Amino acid sequence: MFRKTGFSVAAAAAMFLTLAGFEESGANAQNAEHQAITLPSDAELTDEVMPVFVSQEVVQDIPETPEEEPLAAREAASLRELVAEMPAPGELSEEMRCLAGAVFFESRGEPLEGQLAVAQVIVNRTESGQFPSSYCGVVHQRSQFSFVRGGAMPRIRTGTVAWKRATAIARIAHQGLWDSKASDALYFHAKYVKPRWASRKTARATIDSHIFYR
């Protein structure tokens, strides 16, 4: 009798310890889970990248960059369709405002291909190593763009259709969502002028009233 009773007590004690261990493991896992999703105190948040908190587990696609566009936009059948599908930009960064401003002032009366080509030249310059490495640096470089006066860009009427189109073109060029006919061009000029440097460059494309060169 005594030996049997002793066995039962030992078994009960072992079971109690096992259950206690499970409870402790679960609490640690829960704490680890909370630690895994806690943002660091110095995490940088911008108006383009905001955390989204949800009450249950979800599965969603995460864009590669804050300004990544929906897949549907990149599958547009034409540049016009792509421009129409681009979401409203909200508040533009200073760099994107410089790029869109150049499109607006240099080519807002041109077809979309011509506007994209102007934006492409600016993007190409920032990557060439021959010009400033930022959009604003390229646009405000001395004696490069005639619309820049005293180192400043004129005031833009941001409520116009032309400006909305320019911002869409700038974002398309910035993200490389559509191939431009300007290809790797670094220079362009209007057809009604003939600058001396043009003879030393290689023409890449003529789009409406502009000629693009490398």
pTM beyond 0.85: no
Q: 72-213, what's its fold?
A: Arc Repressor Mutant, subunit A (1.10.10)
Structure tokens at 19: 């259950």
Which residue, chain included where needed, has tokens 């009773």? 5
Looking at residue 183, the DSSP 8-state letter turns out to be: T
Task: Give me the residue spans of the domains in the chain.
Answer: 72-213
Element (H, E) at 195: none
| pLDDT, average across residues 73-90 | 85
Q: What are phi and psi of 212, to 5 degrees?
A: -115, 140
Q: Which amino acid is at 40?
A: P
H helix or E strand, kind and range, residue 188: strand 187-190
Q: Please write the tens of the pLDDT for every residue from 167-179.
A: 999 999 999 999 9
pLDDT at 208 over 80: yes
- The pLDDT tens digits for 10-55 are 444 444 444 444 444 333 333 333 333 333 444 443 444 333 333 3
Residues 122, 185: Cα–Cα separation, whole Å: 9
Identify the helix (H) or strand (E) that includes residue 33.
helix 2-37
Confidence check: pLDDT of 79 > 80: yes
The three-state secondary structure class of 48 is: coil
